[in-house]
Each structure stands twice: as structure tokens, then as C-alpha cells.
Amino acid sequence: VRVSKEKAAENRERILTAAARLFRERGVSGIGVDALLDAAGLTHGSLYSHFGSKDGLMDMALSDGFARVQKNAAGIKSLESAVTAYVSAAHRDNPGSGCFMAALGCEIPRQSKKVRTTFTGIVRRNMARIAALMSARGEQAREDQALATMATMVGAIVLARAVNDRDFSDRILAANRERLLQQAPNPQGSERS
């Protein structure tokens, strides 16, 4: 049942899109290859043509999915809008299209070396992107600020998702949003270095 190159590339994309969503929604060990390829409208066998293994797919889905997340956030030009978009009920309620660090962070230590390295690159690029919105003098200082801001953002979403009480969850988001916004000294953004 050979298919055209275009169709094959499209199938590959569909697998990646479904995988990036399902891994974030259900966890790496929480979703199987059958369900993964079912969601892409294919059978499990074709995973191995394209990616070699579930781990290989995870690695690609991470790279590809992160590129999409970054593109979606391309318009964000200030720390305020980044914080507001990230520490939000919408992000909390849609892990499938949200941040990989918040969705999979706890599982990453148990993944393959390849996946962990890819993930580390994502953390670095997130740091760089947030650092670019910081106002401190010196790149290292901005990066350190970014690492602290990033940890707060990730922790807020992890806790807000874990908690079983909607009001408490909203409060976790609000308290962290406020803390982060009051730390952001430049409401017009981009007055960096």
C-alpha cells in the first residue's frame, strides 16, 4: 500500500501532531503506540517506518511540538503578556497544546538520553526567550532572572493542574501571576539591554 511522497510526509506530520498532543495530555508512559497511531488514522506498524521506535517518535514529537509552541508564542513581546498567557486557566485546561515542561517535566528524568537532551535544549531555548524580555544589565543576569521566572511559571501550572478544587486552582494561578507581574518592571516590554 505504498503512498505518494506527499501523502507519506503528510502522514508523518499527522503522527507527530497527534503524538505531541497525546504525550502532553496522557504522559509518555500513559499512551501506547496503538492509541497514538489510531489518533493519526494509521496502524501501529507505520510508526516504525517513520521513527524507528516509540522513543524516537517521542523525541521528534518534542522537537516538532516545541517549534509549534514557539511559533504560536511568536507574537509575545513583553514579559507581561508572556506571564498572562502562560499562567492562565486556558493553559491549565489545555495541556495538549501547552508547555512541554509543565506537562512532561516530572517524567523526563526517566526518559532516554536522546529525549532528555532534546528536552534540555527546549529548556535552554525557553530560558533564552524569556531572558530576552528581561531588563537586567548583562546576559547572565537576564538568564538567571529568566530561570527563576520560568520555574515559577512551570510550578504554577503543574500545581494548578494537579489540584482537585477549581477555586484553589484559580487561586494558585492568580497568586503566581501577581507575583510574576509585580516582578516585571517594564510594562511596555522590550526595553532590554
Binding site for DNA (CB under 7 A): 1-8, 11-12, 31-35, 37, 42-50, 53-55
Site size toward its own copies, by CB under 8 A: 50
DSSP string, 3-20: --HHHHHHHHHHHHHHHH
Contact present, 154 and 172 (Cβ < 8 Å): no
Closer residue to DNA in complex, CB, 56/155: 56
From the list 18, 37, 60, 150, which residue makes contact with its own copies (rule: CB under 8 A)?
150
From the list 33, 69, 73, 159, which residue makes contact with its own copies (rule: CB under 8 A)?
159
Nearest to 29 by CA among 108, 119, 139, 138: 108
Tell me if 136 contacts its own copies by CB under 8 A: no
Contact present, 36 and 15 (Cβ < 8 Å): yes
Q: Is residue 41 left, alpha or beta, with left meaning phi > 0 and alpha meaning psi from -120 to 50?
A: left
91 phi, psi to nearest 5 deg: -65, -45
Alpha-carbon distance of 36 to 47, in angstroms, equals 9
Q: Considering only the stretches 15-23, 43-51, 56-64, 168-176, report the one whose residues sit in contact with its own copies under the rule CB under 8 A.
A: 168-176
**Which 102-121 positions form the footprint of its own copies (CB under 8 A)?**
102-110, 113, 116-117, 119-120
Per CB under 8 A, residues contacting its own copies are 26-27, 29-30, 95, 101-110, 113, 116-117, 119-120, 123-124, 143-145, 147-148, 150-156, 158-159, 161-165, 168, 171-172, 174-176, 178-180
